Amino acid sequence: MTLNLTRRRLIKLGGAAALAQSAPRLSFAQSKSRVIRAVMHTALRVTDPLVVPAWTTRNHGYNIYDTLFSMDSKLNYKPQMVETFNVSSDGLTYTFHLRTGLMFHDGAPVTTEDVIASLKRWGSRDPMGISLMAATGELAAVDERTFRLVLKRPFGHVLAALGKPSSAVPFIMPARIAATPPSQQITEYVGSGPFRFVASEFKPGIKAVYDRNPDYVARQEAPDGLAGGKVVKVDRYEWIYISDFQTSLNALVNNEVDYFENPTHEMIPNAEKLGVKLFDYNPAGFSGYCRPNWLSPLIAKQEIRQAILHAVNQRDWLDAQIGDPKYYRSSSAMFVPDMPYGTEAGWNTKADVAAAKALLTKGGYKGEPITLLQVADTPIISPLVDVTAQALRQIGMNVKLVTLDWLSVLARRTKQESGEQGGWDLMHATQAAVDIFNPIINAHVMTVGKTGPFGWPEDEPLLDLRQSFIDETDSTRQKAIAETIQKRAYEVVTHIPTGMFRQPAMHRPNLSGFIPALVPVFWNVEKT
């Protein structure tokens, strides 16, 4: 954790207010205009939400782009840019009509040409988009506000794909920009969303600025999750990155910033005495995970992966990562507990040290080093690594920790080589519930090998099951297939969920109107 022992004790003893006052002050002051200055969980560096489908580019995207459909707080998909739509009796033809008044930030109207180009770019890269496009026979404009999607086979997730709430989101951009190859970074950031990106003030890794879009035509419904009316009630939103958590808290307490996305869980109980408020923008929660590199010769052995699965109690991860049971939940549900496909099948979340040791022997383990990536600057992840290292050493594994900052971890995890060859064997990260709540979105079970998501698991039975889920239109049968997928994923160990947790944000008391929207958004927020 980034808090040293003195700070940790002060916080636990109720000295957070004094600590916040004594911590270094930032040099900037608040503007008198309606500006929200928000310290976000990490810096914005890459601004193409498809080239790097991370939370940062997703959040950036929701500011400046809009979507055809959006997910509401009850996980229903509601029209957003779409005004009306209809589906043929055989379920194969969808016809969509765009809302009137949709306009890009450069003044050009949004047309179906832009929509189709955006969907094709997204659908060539995103796993759910790839599945949708594979089932599509035709995607064509009828007129400037109407387009048609004709399936060549049943696909029961069309609206779920078009309203996909998290990375990578099918954001709509001008056709000329969407013509950029999906592997190439876009260089122009023109959307039709509620904010406009101020490119001239962008300082990668430090600050991003968004002005209210005065031409945005919001839906008439009340905001509900990511759906409904996106009415911006401030002049500007500034995304700021401060690497030190205590400095961020100090800035919030001293009214130098308005919002702090991810305070440590040790800071949360002291919010009231610090004079700030809590807001849980993502009540569905987050999940940590341990991901093995299947291309490492050591990890390629299923018995070794199973040994790792049985080495750790999930609750040990949660106690180290979060600490307060009020904010965490132990669960084996890969597709999120209490969501449509949540199930506890396949693993009991408990450690079995004897079984783990036996599996190591069965897998022929002879003391080879296993490279585990440690994250130096992300306290929500680093405790997970510490617990894993201790547990693996307890069952007799030779653990080699490689400590890096988070951006370096992201770069290193793209390497398919083993840890001994400059890559990695195991790594930890976290993800939002909306990134994993069904077998299409959840990239961990996309087991296509070297061409798939990092970790590169390869398993034909899982691929077949995933395709069965994609093709199925009956919700009851979908749930049964999802449970079978989870059981198989635990059998081959695609990844290991480290448990669910909630992460409230902090904000100044003069901000109101926050929406529980699965991702942090700043429309509907007022500043007095």
Q: For residue 22, what pLDDT is reported?
A: 47
Helix (H, G, I), strand (E, B), or coil: what is residue 405?
A: coil
| Opening angle at CA 206, ends 287 and 251, nearest 5 | 80
pLDDT tens digits along 83-122: 999 999 999 999 999 999 999 999 999 999 999 999 999 9
Segment 193-213 shows an average pLDDT of 96
Secondary structure of 192-255 as H, E, C letters: CCCEEECHHHCECCCEEEEEECCCCCCCCCCCECCECCCCCCCCEEEEECCCCHHHHHHHHHCC
pLDDT tens digits along 317-328: 999 999 999 999
Q: For residue 10, what pLDDT is reported?
A: 39
| Residue 367 Ramachandran class (φ > 0 left, ψ -120 to 50 alpha, else beta) | left
Which residue type is seen at 167?
Answer: S
State the fold for domain 286-501.
Dipeptide-binding Protein; domain 3 (3.10.105)
CA dist 16 and 22 (Å) reads 10
Read off φ and ψ for residue 64, nearest 5 degrees: -110, -15
CA dist 422 and 415 (Å) reads 8
Segment 6-16 shows an average pLDDT of 40
Percent of the chain at pLDDT exceeding 70 = 94
Return the domain boundaries, the chain: 5-30+242-282+504-527, 55-182, 286-501
List the beta strands (DSSP E) in 405-468.
426-432
pLDDT tens digits along 256-288: 999 999 999 999 999 999 999 999 999 899 999
Bridge partners, 370 (sequence order):
399
- Say if CB 489 and CB 462 are below 8 A apart: yes
| 92 Cα distance to chain centroid | 31
Q: For residue 1, what pLDDT is reported?
A: 32
CA dist 410 and 424 (Å) reads 11
Which residue type is seen at 275?
Answer: G
Q: For residue 46, what pLDDT is reported?
A: 87
Which residue type is seen at 250?
Answer: N
Residue 214, Cβ density class (10 Å: 0-12 exposed, 13-18 middle, ≥19 buried): exposed
Whether the pLDDT of residue 67 is over 70: the answer is: yes
Question: What is the pLDDT confidence band of residue 167, given thresholds at 50, 70 and 90?
Answer: confident
Percent of the chain at pLDDT exceeding 90 = 83
Question: What is the pLDDT confidence band of residue 527, given thresholds at 50, 70 and 90?
Answer: very high
Distances (CA, A) of 158 to 93, 340, 456: 10, 17, 26
Whether the pLDDT of residue 245 is over 70: the answer is: yes
Whether the pLDDT of residue 18 is over 80: the answer is: no
CA dist 140 and 150 (Å) reads 9
Whether the pLDDT of residue 36 is over 90: the answer is: yes
Q: For residue 434, what pLDDT is reported?
A: 87
Whether CATH 3.40.50.970 fits 55-182: no
Q: For residue 127, what pLDDT is reported?
A: 84
Segment 203-218 shows an average pLDDT of 96
Q: Please, what is the average pLDDT of the chain?
A: 92
User: How is residue 274 written in tokens?
Assistant: 């610090």
Read off φ and ψ for residue 500, nearest 5 degrees: -90, 145
Q: For residue 3, what pLDDT is reported?
A: 35
pLDDT tens digits along 408-431: 998 899 999 999 999 999 999 999
Which has the minimum average pLDDT: 35-39, 395-399, 489-493, 516-520?
Answer: 516-520
Task: Annotate 90-148 with DSSP letters as a single string.
Answer: TS-EEEEEEPTT-B-TTSPBP-HHHHHHHHHHHHTTSHHHHHHHHHEEEEEEEETTEEE
pLDDT tens digits along 434-463: 889 999 989 999 999 998 889 999 999 999
Question: What is the pLDDT confidence band of residue 32, given thresholds at 50, 70 and 90?
Answer: low
Do 55-182 and 286-501 fold alike per CATH? Answer: no
Which residue type is seen at 256?
Answer: E
pLDDT tens digits along 354-411: 999 999 999 999 999 999 999 998 889 999 999 999 999 999 999 999 999 988 998 8
User: How is residue 368 written in tokens?
Assistant: 């080879």
Q: For residue 416, what pLDDT is reported?
A: 97
Q: For residue 11, what pLDDT is reported?
A: 38
pLDDT tens digits along 354-369: 999 999 999 999 999 9
Residue 99, Cβ density class (10 Å: 0-12 exposed, 13-18 middle, ≥19 buried): middle
Q: What is the pTM of this model?
A: 0.87
CA dist 332 and 339 (Å) reads 13
